[in-house]
């Protein structure tokens, strides 16, 4: 790694291992603008906003420039400013500037256009009008707002390994699209939504379903019941100036009640059901000798990935429903009587960090008589918009706890939202040693962390079990390849599609790796302060499982993704 | 000169390159040499066998003008638009053929599936300007009238062959 000093705008700045000049400039306290630079993706150099000038007057992009000792650069010379303003003007000229009605809350193009004071666009938009693609469950694509930065193309290929959208044609006809300009619904898209998460403009946005939520809330014949996923509570505050990772579940509940929601529950409650049923399934498989590896089933984009790209592994997926769907199934059953008694129909909203959950809720497996168990999935960002729409100042709200009985969850349930959390919860359940020391040992066995693929071994009843934890579909793809070729073997593999796990979901506020880590740490803090750390210690869950009986619990909580 | 694409043969071409990703362009060239175009099924098969995304294959196929994703006519007419042909009025020849074949916008192949009209930057036959080729046979010193006559001759030949 290179080390040394460089002169940035006359100021001496040390660098040590930064991979490009851009990072050194940002470290020096200058926020150099970019559209196409994303630290977790490959360097692309397309937007040309990050250009700098060296002491010989040569202009080049700082994102693709390696820091060298003694380098002298300027970031804000007259030529550079003119250059950036021209880029912005040209981008705006070929961009649908219907900002007033745009779905993008934080448009980077608009922010930079304002920052650089672009008030007059001298060029006409001569491009043809392209059709909007709202065929997908998770995202809506509006090619008229695309600025060709390629962030979505790279995240889809490099982070998720699916490469659904890519460049097509070239020059002035260059466009980002799925192959043959197909609709997203006709592709093998897994609905992870990361393209929308990185898109700097409104070209790819998360499907917005706020209208449906308001209609249900304002309908007196409906009882609106909400469940909130673990990862939401450590990210929702970010939009209101609360640090990432701080648990604001209690304030979020108050906000939802102020909006007119009738009952608010916690997805963590259902996650305890998942841990117990999935743990038992794992122990059962150990007894019966497989099939291994057993894959976790909480992540709908992962399930979709196997369906679309590698169906031979569908039989390896745990037959347990995801916590969201377990919650919904239990709620539907328990509230059927209540609905009949007071004549109000329960409308179930799930607040999720995830766009793929919108797709999961629409799956046939989770419908009864054509009616989905979850009526509506809202993302963290949608709920933020609703809070803002009602003028609610979240930080100033009083605290409220989730309603009972479905509001109680263990610490193991809270960490479902972070990579490694589901595996850890299952290990806690399966290990016969229930001591505090065992918990500490599990914490440090290698399941936690940020690496794309992590491994751990654990001794259960004399057999050494191999576990793997994966985040980012591209890593899952790699692991599957190794398993295909017989180079790797695991008993249990946890897969979360998004970087960092659900805390990095595309439904969350825009975030970089560090922010996602803070949110994950927030979930671990919730676990630390939880009254009980193990799913099987949840008194309500244990009691309900007993009441259900084994057969009925199986009916209610399991699903089979294998198509005959 | 088959009009329908035999996917088994396509698979054999891909296998001939050992399913190597870096051979993508060469594979597409070979398939196009055989069938004159690349169908959706062909590109899907390439993507599957090379283990790259279909969007990536489509991206490469649309980047190069030389790859055609549409079935081409039996006769591929290339009107030279090089400097020498251009100054000797090749454009009116192209326009006349374009109108005569009933082509519009992006459509390059006539409705009867017989003719595909393209331009080419230079045939290297400047002394014969304005020149054009029909399936790689060069026709020299053309005019809009002689080009249309040529079309009629080819059409009659086809009608004769079918009748």
Is A243 a residue whose pLDDT tops 90? yes
Q: Nearest CA to CA, how far is B119 from chain A (Å)? A: 18
- Mark yes or no for CB contact B55/A166 under 8 Å: yes
Residue A417 to residue A409: CA distance in whole angstroms: 13
The stretch A305-327 carries a mean pLDDT of 94
Instruction: Mean pLDDT check: name the lowest of A106-115, A461-470, A522-531.
Output: A461-470
Assigned CATH topology for domain B7-63: Arc Repressor Mutant, subunit A (1.10.10)
> For A165, which of B40, B55, B57 is closest by C-beta distance?
B55
pLDDT surpassing 70 at residue A88? yes
CB contact residues (below 8 A), chain B span 102-161, against chain A: none
Residue B58 and residue A179: Cβ atoms within 8 Å? Answer: yes
Instruction: Please tell me whether residue A463 adopts helix, strand or coil conformation.
Output: strand
pLDDT at residue number B3:
54
Distance, in Å, from the CA atom of A453 to the CA atom of A445, rounded to the nearest integer, reads 14
**Beta-carbon pairs below 8 A across chains A and B:** 36
Of the residues A53, A238, A263, A360, only one is catalytic, namely A360
Residue A265's φ and ψ, nearest 5 degrees, are -120, 175
Residue labelled with tokens 């054009």: B132
H or E stretch at A209? none
CB contact under 8 A, B53 and A170: no
Band (pLDDT 50/70/90 cuts) for residue A3 is confident
Q: What's the pLDDT score for residue A462?
A: 79
**Range in A190-199, A356-365, A444-453, A467-476 with the lowest mean pLDDT:** A444-453
Confidence of residue B163 (pLDDT cuts 50, 70, 90): low
Candidates A131, A365, A389, A550; catalytic one: A365
Whether A298 sits among the annotated catalytic residues: the reply is yes
Omega before residue A291 within 30° of 0, cis: yes
d(CA B96, CA A542): 83
Locate tokens 């009985």: which residue?
Answer: A405
Containing A160, the helix (H) or strand (E) segment is none
pLDDT at residue number A127: 87
Spatial neighbors of A548 by CB under 8 A, at least 6 apart, are A556
Architecture of the domain whose range is A3-76: Roll (3.10)
Distance from CA of A159 to the nearest CA of B (A): 14
Sorted by sequence, the CB contacts under 8 Å of residue A303 that are 6+ apart come out as: A297, A317, A360, A561
CA atoms within 13 A on the CB side of B100: 20
Measure the CA dihedral A36/A37/A38/A42, to 10°: 90
Phi, psi of A556 (to 5 degrees): -80, -35
- Give the gyration radius of chain A's Cα atoms: 25
Alpha-carbon span A525 to A530, nearest angstrom: 8
Residue among B53, B58, B63 whose CB faces A180 most closely: B58
Residue A354 bears catalytic tag: no
Topology of domain B75-162, per CATH? Glutaredoxin (3.40.30)
CA dist A423 → A154, A186, A428, A558, B8 (Å): 29, 33, 9, 18, 45
CB neighbourhood size of A500 (10 A): 25
SS3 A541: helix
Chain B residue nearest residue A174, CA to CA: B63
* B54 contacts in chain A (CB < 8 Å): 179
Per-residue pLDDT averaged across A248-260, rounded?
96
Query: How many angstroms away from the CA of A41 is the closest CA of chain B?
Result: 17
Q: Do A166 and B40 touch (CB under 8 A)?
A: no
Query: What are the residues facing A372 on neighbouring strands?
Result: A367
Which residues of A make CB contacts under 8 Å with B? Answer: 157, 162-170, 177-180, 187
Indicate if A360 belongs to the active site. yes
Instruction: State residue A422's pLDDT score.
Output: 95
Q: What's the rounded Cα separation, in Å, for the pair A471 and A493?
A: 11
Mutate to test the interface with B, among A180, A310, A473 (most CBs of B within 10 A): A180
Residue A564 binned pLDDT confidence (cut-offs 50, 70, 90): low
Q: Judge whether A508 and A231 are in contact, CB under 8 Å.
A: yes
β-pair type (A294-295, A345-352):
unpaired
Cβ-in-10-Å burial (0-12, 13-18, 19+) of A404 comes to exposed
Choose, from A298, A299, A320, A354, the residue flagged as catalytic: A298
Average pLDDT over residues A387-405: 94
Instruction: Tell whether the model's pLDDT for residue A550 goes beyond 60.
Output: yes
Q: Report yes or no: A538 and A410 within 8 Å, Cβ to Cβ.
A: yes
Tokens encoding B147: 């080009």
Pick the CATH number of A212-557 from 1.10.10.10, 3.60.15.10, 3.40.640.10, 3.40.50.1780: 3.40.50.1780
Instruction: Domain ranges for chain B, please list them.
Output: 7-63, 75-162
Q: Is the pLDDT of residue B2 over 80?
A: no
- CA-to-CA separations, A47 to A43, A63, A191, B127, in angstroms, rounded: 11, 10, 26, 46
Phi-psi map region of B133: left, alpha, beta (phi>0 left; psi -120 to 50 alpha): beta
Helices (H), A61-201: 78-93, 108-115, 151-154, 194-198
Q: How far is CA A103 from the centre of its chain?
A: 18
Distance of CA A180 to the CA centre of its chain: 28
pLDDT beyond 90 at A463? no
Residues of chain A with pLDDT > 70: what percent? 100
CB spacing of A164 vs B53 below 8 angstroms: yes
Domain boundaries of chain A, sorted by first residue = 3-76, 87-207, 212-557
Q: Are A47 and A149 in contact (CB under 8 A)?
A: yes
Judge whether residue A1 has pLDDT over 90.
no
Give me the residues paired with residue A352 across strands: A379
Write the CA distances from B122 to A423, B65, B97, B98, B130, integer angstroms. 64, 15, 18, 19, 10
Active site residue: A104, A145, A357, A533, which one? A357
Model pLDDT, residue B1: 42
Which residue reads 């993302």 in tokens? A379
Catalytic residue among A281, A325, A382, A494: A281
Residues 41-60 in B contacting A (C-alpha not used; CB under 8 Å):
43, 52-59
Condensed to tens digits (0 to 9), the pLDDT of residues B36-73 reads 889 999 999 999 999 999 999 999 999 998 898 888 88
User: How many CA atoms lie within 13 Å of A47's alpha carbon, on the beta-carbon side?
Assistant: 28
- Minimum distance, in Å, between the CA of residue A152 and any CA atom of chain B: 13
Q: Do B55 and A169 touch (CB under 8 A)?
A: no
pLDDT in tens, A173-195: 999 999 999 999 999 999 999 99
Annotated catalytic residue A502? yes
pLDDT digits 0-9 by tens, A22-70: 999 999 999 999 999 988 889 999 999 999 999 999 999 999 999 999 9
Q: In what order do the strands lie in the sheet with B75-80?
A: B115-120, B75-80, B132-134, B137-139
Nearest to A163 among B40, B43, B56 (CB): B56
Task: Encode pLDDT of A140-163 as tens digits.
Answer: 999 999 999 999 999 999 999 999
Cα A310 off chain centre by = 22
Q: What is the mean pLDDT of residues A285-296?
A: 90
Name which of A162, A168, A169 is nearest B53 (Cβ-Cβ): A162
Instruction: Look over chain A and give the mean of its residue pLDDT values, rounded to a whole number.
Output: 93
Report the residue of chain B nearest A179, measured CA to CA. B55
pLDDT for the residue A528: 92
Percent of chain A scored above 90 by pLDDT?
84
Residue A318 appears among annotated catalytic residues: yes
Backbone angles phi and psi of A139, in degrees to 5: -130, 160
Provide the pLDDT for residue A50.
Answer: 94
Best residue in A164, A169, A179 to probe B by mutation, most B CBs within 10 Å? A179
**B55, B62, B63 member nearest A178 (Cβ):** B55
User: Which residue in chain B is spatially nearest to A154 when comparing CA positions?
Assistant: B56
* pTM for this prediction: 0.90
Is the CB of residue A154 less than 8 Å from the CB of residue A41? Answer: yes
- The confidence band for A460, taking pLDDT boundaries of 50, 70 and 90, is confident
Q: Do A168 and B43 touch (CB under 8 A)?
A: no
- Which chain B residues are Cβ-neighbours of A178 within 8 angstroms? 55
> What CATH number matches the domain at A87-207, 3.40.50.720, 3.30.420.40, 3.30.70.20, 2.40.50.100?
3.30.70.20
């Amino acid at each position: 790694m290179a080390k040394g000093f460089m002169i940035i705008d006359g100021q001496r700045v040390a660098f040590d291992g930064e991979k490009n000049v851009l990072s050194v400039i940002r470290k020096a306290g200058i926020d150099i603008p970019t559209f196409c630079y994303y630290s977790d993706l490959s360097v692309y150099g397309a937007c040309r906003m990050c250009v700098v000038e060296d002491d010989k007057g040569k202009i080049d992009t700082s994102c693709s420039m390696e820091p060298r000792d003694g380098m002298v650069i300027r970031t804000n010379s007259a030529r550079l400013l003119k250059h950036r303003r021209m880029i912005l003007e040209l981008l705006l000229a070929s961009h649908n500037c219907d900002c007033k009605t745009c779905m993008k809350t934080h448009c980077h193009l608009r922010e930079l256009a304002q920052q650089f004071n672009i008030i007059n666009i001298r060029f006409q938009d001569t491009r043809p009008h392209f059709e909007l693609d709202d065929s997908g469950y998770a995202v809506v694509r509006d090619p008229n707002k695309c600025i060709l930065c390629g962030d979505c193309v790279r995240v889809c290929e490099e982070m998720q390994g699916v490469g659904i959208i890519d460049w097509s044609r070239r020059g002035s006809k260059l466009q980002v699209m799925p192959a043959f300009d197909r609709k997203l619904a006709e592709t093998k898209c897994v609905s992870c939504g990361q393209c929308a998460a990185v898109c700097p403009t409104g070209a790819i946005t998360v499907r917005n379903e706020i209208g449906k939520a308001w209609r249900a809330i304002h309908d007196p014949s409906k009882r609106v019941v909400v469940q909130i996923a673990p990862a939401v509570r450590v990210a929702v505050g970010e939009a209101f100036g609360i640090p990432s990772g701080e648990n604001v579940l209690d304030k979020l509940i108050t906000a939802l009640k102020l909006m007119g929601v009738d009952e608010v529950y916690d997805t963590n409650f259902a996650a305890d059901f998942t841990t117990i049923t999935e743990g038992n399934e794992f122990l059962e498989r150990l007894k019966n000798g497989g099939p291994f590896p057993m894959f976790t089933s909480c992540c709908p984009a992962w399930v979709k990935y196997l369906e679309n790209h590698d169906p031979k592994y569908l039989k390896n997926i745990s037959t347990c429903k995801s916590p969201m769907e377990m919650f919904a199934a239990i709620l539907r059953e328990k509230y059927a009587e209540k609905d009949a008694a007071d004549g109000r129909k329960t409308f179930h909203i799930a607040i999720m960090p995830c766009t793929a959950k919108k797709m999961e809720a629409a799956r046939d497996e989770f419908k009864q008589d054509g009616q989905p168990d979850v009526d509506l999935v809202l993302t963290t960002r949608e709920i933020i918009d609703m809070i803002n729409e009602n003028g609610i100042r979240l930080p100033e709200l009083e605290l409220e706890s989730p309603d009972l009985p479905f509001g109680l969850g263990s610490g193991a349930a809270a960490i479902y939202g972070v990579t490694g959390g589901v595996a850890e919860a299952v290990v806690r359940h399966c290990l016969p040693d229930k001591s505090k020391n065992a918990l500490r040992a599990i914490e440090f066995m290698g399941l936690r962390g940020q690496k794309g693929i992590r491994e751990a071994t654990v001794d259960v009843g004399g057999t050494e079990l191999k576990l793997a934890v994966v985040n980012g579909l591209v890593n899952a793809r790699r692991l599957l390849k190794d398993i295909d070729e017989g180079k790797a073997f695991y008993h249990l593999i946890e897969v979360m599609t998004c970087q960092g796990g659900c805390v990095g979901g595309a439904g969350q506020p825009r975030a970089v790796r560090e922010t996602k880590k803070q949110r994950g740490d927030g979930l671990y803090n919730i676990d630390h302060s939880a009254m009980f750390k193990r799913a099987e210690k949840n008194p309500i869950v244990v009691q309900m499982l007993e009441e259900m009986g084994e057969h009925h619990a199986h009916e209610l909580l399991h699903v089979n993704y294998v198509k005959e | 000169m088959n009009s329908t694409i035999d996917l088994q043969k396509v698979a054999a071409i891909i296998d001939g390159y050992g399913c190597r990703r870096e051979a993508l362009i060469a594979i597409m060239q070979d398939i196009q040499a055989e069938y004159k175009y690349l169908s959706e099924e062909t590109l899907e098969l390439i993507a599957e066998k090379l283990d790259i995304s279909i969007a990536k294959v489509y991206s490469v196929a649309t980047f190069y003008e030389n790859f055609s994703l549409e079935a081409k006519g039996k006769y591929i007419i290339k009107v030279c638009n090089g400097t020498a042909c251009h100054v000797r009025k090749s454009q009116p020849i192209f326009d006349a053929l374009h109108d005569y074949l009933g082509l519009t916008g992006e459509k390059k192949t006539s409705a009867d599936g017989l003719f595909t009209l393209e331009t080419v930057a230079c045939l290297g036959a400047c002394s014969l300007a304005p020149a054009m080729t029909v399936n790689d046979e060069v026709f020299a010193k053309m005019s809009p009238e002689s080009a249309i006559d040529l079309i009629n001759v080819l059409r009659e030949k086809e009608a004769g062959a079918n009748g």
